Structure 1
């Protein structure tokens, strides 16, 4: 078993793009419920809308990584960015093989008005949280989120928002104080959505969770 001292948490930057897209391809999309349910082929995280989203997260100064010292491998990622009431982020790149994935994500996010409170002008949005399967269950996911939240507070965010698609992440965010603002039951969808919930390992509820930071 690896020692906790064998790991370093650090701020991700655009120079980490290659490593981040590699771990997301191997460790995130291979287990993420929406991806399992929509069955995209040959995911290319460095390209299209997903690549653009990851770049924005790395450029934001809000994303954190976890590195395994003995191997030098990136084994954990919390990809986040800052959003403001004054500047709405609109996708400019095609979703490509993740079209169904993003269709579902966008549909769920429609159920929440991120800036509904008039005093909220800046939000920390957590897009992806993933830890290598060999190092799960040790609190690394929680620590990555805590570090991102600290960045959000430091940068003046009044609120943090995340779209949660699996039970394990749900527990992490709930224990940190995030509350459910909207739920979407994927089993209620018709066949035209192209989602096979039988492949999602029981993770058929997508939740948008939020927490006030100030």
Structure 2
């Protein structure tokens, strides 16, 4: 686990957009399995659908970051958003270089009805979880999710949902009590999906996991 004296956890705000997107460009998309499998290049997280999604997460008051105290560097983020049945909306921004990425993401999310339980009307959706490659294995990812979940409980969410593309993230969420609700084996897809699973470092499953918060 991380030494509390080395790291500061913080609530991310819209003012952190530049630093967060820079981190994601360098430390998330360069290793995220689905991005590798769809061979998405020159990703610009500040633009299009991805930029709009990140802005919504930072505006939500549900996203957390962690900074390395000795260097002041942002070394981890968990971007989240609160969703409700009344305010659900269809993306309007272009997917740009992440067209195939979002196609797969949208496809797997179709397999789960987020508000399937009658008493669930507000959900904490974990959008992206990333930790700097030099700080993996110190418990930072787990702690970021724990803090986001606490925000969700605080804001009255009854459930939390996340789409998992890596074995590393799966272990974190499983340890925190998330369970698989739907799973898509990318090796079963045809070539028209544009996914080269040989580039995904053994991460060929995309799973939707959920946890009851109240």
TM beyond 0.5:
yes
TM-score calculated relative to the size of structure 2 = 0.98
Once the 2 structures are TM-superposed, how far is the Cα of residue 3 of structure 1 from its aligned partner? 4.9
Once the 2 structures are TM-superposed, how far is the Cα of residue 89 of structure 1 from its aligned partner? 2.7
The match for 1:62 is 62
Total equivalences in the alignment: 213
Q: Give the whole-Å Cα distance in 1 for the aligned partners of 2:24 and 2:5.
A: 24
Secondary structure (helix, strand or coil) at the match of 1:102 reads helix
Indicate yes or no: 2:19 matched with 1:19. yes
Unaligned runs of 5+ in 1: none
Secondary structure (helix, strand or coil) at the match of 1:5 reads coil
The match for 2:5 is 5
Once the 2 structures are TM-superposed, how far is the Cα of residue 4 of structure 1 from its aligned partner? 3.8
Q: How does 1:185-204 map to 2 (within 5 A)?
A: 185-204=185-204
Q: Give the whole-Å Cα distance in 2 for the aligned partners of 1:213 and 1:65.
A: 21
RMSD, matched Cα: 0.9
The match for 1:37 is 37
Secondary structure (helix, strand or coil) at the match of 1:138 reads coil
Q: Give the whole-Å Cα distance in 1 for the aligned partners of 2:149 and 2:3.
A: 25
Once the 2 structures are TM-superposed, how far is the Cα of residue 41 of structure 1 from its aligned partner? 1.5
Once the 2 structures are TM-superposed, how far is the Cα of residue 126 of structure 1 from its aligned partner? 0.1
Secondary structure (helix, strand or coil) at the match of 2:5 reads helix
Unaligned runs of 5+ in 2: none
The match for 2:77 is 77
Q: Verify the 8 A CA contact 1:83 1:89 in the aligned structure 2.
A: no
Q: Give the whole-Å Cα distance in 1 for the aligned partners of 2:143 and 2:89.
A: 27
Q: Give the whole-Å Cα distance in 2 for the aligned partners of 1:76 and 1:41.
A: 22
The match for 1:109 is 109
Secondary structure (helix, strand or coil) at the match of 1:177 reads coil
Q: Give the whole-Å Cα distance in 2 for the aligned partners of 1:155 and 1:21.
A: 25
Q: Give the whole-Å Cα distance in 1 for the aligned partners of 2:3 and 2:31.
A: 25
Secondary structure (helix, strand or coil) at the match of 2:113 reads coil
Q: Verify the 8 A CA contact 1:8 1:66 in the aligned structure 2.
A: yes
Once the 2 structures are TM-superposed, how far is the Cα of residue 99 of structure 1 from its aligned partner? 0.2
Secondary structure (helix, strand or coil) at the match of 1:78 reads strand
TM-score calculated relative to the size of structure 1 = 0.98
